[in-house]
Amino acid sequence: MTTIAPETVPAVPTRFGSWEVMKDVVDELIDLALNYRQSGHPGGSRSKVHLLLALLLSGAMRWDLLRPWRRFSDRLILSAGHTIPLVYASLAALNEVARIASEREARFAFPHEGRFALTWEDLLLLRRRGGLPGHAEMAGKTLLLKWNTGPSGHGLPPSVGEALALRAAGLDGVKVFAIEGEGGLTPGATHESRNSAWGLGLADLVFLLDWNDFGIDENPISSVVHGTPRDWFEGYGWRVLGTEHGSEWAPVTATVLDAARGPNAARAPTLAWFRTRKGRGYLKYDNASHGSPHAMNSEPFWRLRKEFMAKYGVEYAGVDEPAPKDPSMVRAQAKRNLETVMAALRSRGDVVEDIAARIAAAADGVPEAIPSFRLGSTRAGIFRDERLTDAERYPAEMWAKPGESKPNRAALATWGAWVNTFARTEYGRPLVIAMSADLAESTNIAGFAKGFGGVEGWGWYRRDSNTQGTLLPQQITEFTNAGISCGIASVNLAEDPFTDFDGFWAACSTYGSFSYLKYGEMRLFSQLAQDCELKLGKVIWIAGHSGPETAEDSRTHFGVFETGVTQLFPEGAVIDLHPWEYNEVPVVLAAALRQKAPIVALHLTRPPITIPDDYADYPSVVVDAVETLRRAGINGPYALALGPTCYSGLAQAAEDGHPIRERVEHFLDGPMVLAPKIDGAVLLSHRGGDFQLSVGQDLSIGYAGHDKDKVYLYLTESFAFRVLERGAAVYLKPKRAKK
């Protein structure tokens, strides 16, 4: 059984011959794939090859090529998501080594019949429907990556969240690596992420910076951004190191190893920089190499291929010839040339043997158990505990009493305190990690850190004294808070992450008028949850002080429009909740969290709402309704369907110490049920024959569509609901209390 040992820095290799061959192979695969697709980003992909291969092969990163979902693996985020050809080409080369090695050693065989193994054949489908996406995604053949990226700056906040989740789970020593270029450091989220990572004490977070001075436009980044990586990060309390020789194996490997495993007495996050040339070796450099491959089969493209041919003694198809006119011939030529690269690799048995050994060593370095792990075992049972989302089983202290005047946001504090206390008493762990934009008390999200029913709460997170605190001390960082929350929820530490989730849910809040600041990261999370084969957690997005009730701030706080922001998602990705009063909040939260949607958007208001105090009149109201039905010749038994407000209010109401609900049930002689879609209540006949559901005999099945993993079928059946006796139901309209 492997466990994490005290940090030691692996030795820097003295010879890099095998790595140089792998670099050449990766370069060729990048160029050939982009030549065939004529779309993608060669410059930043090529400039990061040394950095990535050194990370994967040196022992700096503990990872498993064949099983990248192992729960105690280090995590990799390609924050520079446009440079995904780098990852595709590297995985294709490494998996070819594994495929060759599997011919003599079973441990290298692809699990799941190769479903999750990216091979060189997949490069033919780069940026094509059903193939490899144009930017980094945590799904399918790239489960090595632990976040969806592409938009600049959107990868760094989730990396903070993932590192925080690992620390909260007691997994000090499990790393999160994020690869970025300095262009991606210019968005404001980077500033927020640097502050947050230091404030949360994330010593296992490592940013790897490809410092090449160019983005898309012709202006060098240094013409706009002052200083160096040391200036950009040391002032934030980060540990900073780097090399001016970002395309040389020895200094790059030494830097990667030091960043990952070197001494870090201050327990600070680390920034390692690598001075490179964008477009290294591509014959097109700097900004010109950003998103523009050489024209198909052009002279510079073939000039580069001739260098590889001369070095490795192989022959490409179509050298110095223009591309064929027939698309099928273009594909056939691309396939043959990719095979040629793989043949060059396969012919070098010493290289295959050396790289296979390093692949095996990296996998062997992933721990099977970590003694300090705070989740797992029976603690994972909380996600199967129906009490968590069954409002009917919530304790009496959850509810406000009739006549009380409370804002609905206060119910969030109560529910948050209960849910984390429930997790503590039943499972010895917290469930939800929460944060706000310096508005924890104002939006009532602080409840997640407080106790309930006399049990002590988890408290504020403190980097040095309380790493199990469930309320992060975040400042005005709405965008980054969204990314941290989604990063937390994306960390699945279950033994089988394909079928179970074990980790944390997250909650973040700000005023509803600033909801637009959270959208980008939430949208990426919804996409990740839609496509990723691994189970994910949930994010509760709290839009506080929402709607027209806060009109006194409306000149600058456009809360009335915030509801539109949370609806800009694919169907099924978000559930919007708009409770009216205090007692509705736990009910709608419970109902929403039972669903599959990864995001629950809870819209809360500021002013207090008086809880209706007329529940003592319910018995007489129900008696009147029953008599109405009886006078119409409709005898019992009867059923009462109650909306959330009525249901929760009646459950709490008592007169002279006797529950009013029992009196109501006495008159019904039938069930009383929660009906979330009803505003008020409906008394209806339960005798039978008054309502009819007519189901046709035309059941059919058909094809609805498919994705890369599943085929979706549909069932259709005609039916009609008929009211046979119009007088068999009585609607009980609620009285709205004045604010």
Q: Where do we find the tokens 């012709």? A: 218
- Same domain? 471 vs 553: yes
Do 494 and 375 touch, CB atoms closer than 8 A? no
- Same domain? 217 vs 104: yes
Do 126 and 84 touch, CB atoms closer than 8 A? no
Most confidently predicted of 146-155, 199-208, 376-385, 564-573: 199-208
Is residue 214 pLDDT above 70, yes or no?
A: yes
Closest CA to 206 of 394, 391, 7: 7
Structure tokens at 624: 């009147």
Q: Identify the band that residue 615 occupies on the pLDDT scale cut at 50, 70 and 90.
A: low
Specify the range with the lowest mean pLDDT, choosing from 233-247, 289-303, 579-593.
579-593
Each residue's pLDDT tens digit, 471-512: 999 999 999 999 999 999 999 999 999 999 999 999 999 988
Q: Identify the band that residue 737 occupies on the pLDDT scale cut at 50, 70 and 90.
A: very low
Each residue's pLDDT tens digit, 659-669: 777 777 777 87
- Same domain? 174 vs 262: yes
Q: Where do we find the tokens 């906040």? A: 157
- Same domain? 359 vs 382: no
- Same domain? 109 vs 70: yes
DSSP result, 66-106: S-TT-TTS-EEEESSGGGHHHHHHHHHHHHHHHHHHTTT-G
Could you give the CA distance from residue 267 to residue 269 in angstroms, rounded to a whole number?
A: 7
- Same domain? 92 vs 201: yes
The continuous run of DSSP H or E covering 362 comes out as helix 349-364
Structure tokens at 339: 């095979």
Residue 11 resides in a domain: no
- Same domain? 533 vs 640: no
Q: What is the pLDDT, as a whole number, of residue 721?
A: 80
- Same domain? 628 vs 543: no
Q: What is the pTM of this model?
A: 0.86
Each residue's pLDDT tens digit, 334-389: 999 999 999 999 999 999 999 999 999 999 999 999 999 999 988 889 999 999 99
In Å, how far are 17, 28, 121, 341, 628 from 347, measured between CA atoms? Answer: 15, 16, 19, 10, 90
Do 297 and 318 touch, CB atoms closer than 8 A? yes
Return the CATH number at 727.
3.30.2320.10
**Mean pLDDT within 649-677:** 76
Of 364, 390, 407, which residue is a domain's last? 364
Range of the domain at 113: 17-364
Residue 530 resides in a domain: yes
**Mean pLDDT within 508-530:** 93
Of 560, 594, 610, which residue is a domain's last? 610
Residue 8 resides in a domain: no
Q: How many CB atoms lie within 10 A of CB 716?
A: 10
- Same domain? 44 vs 144: yes
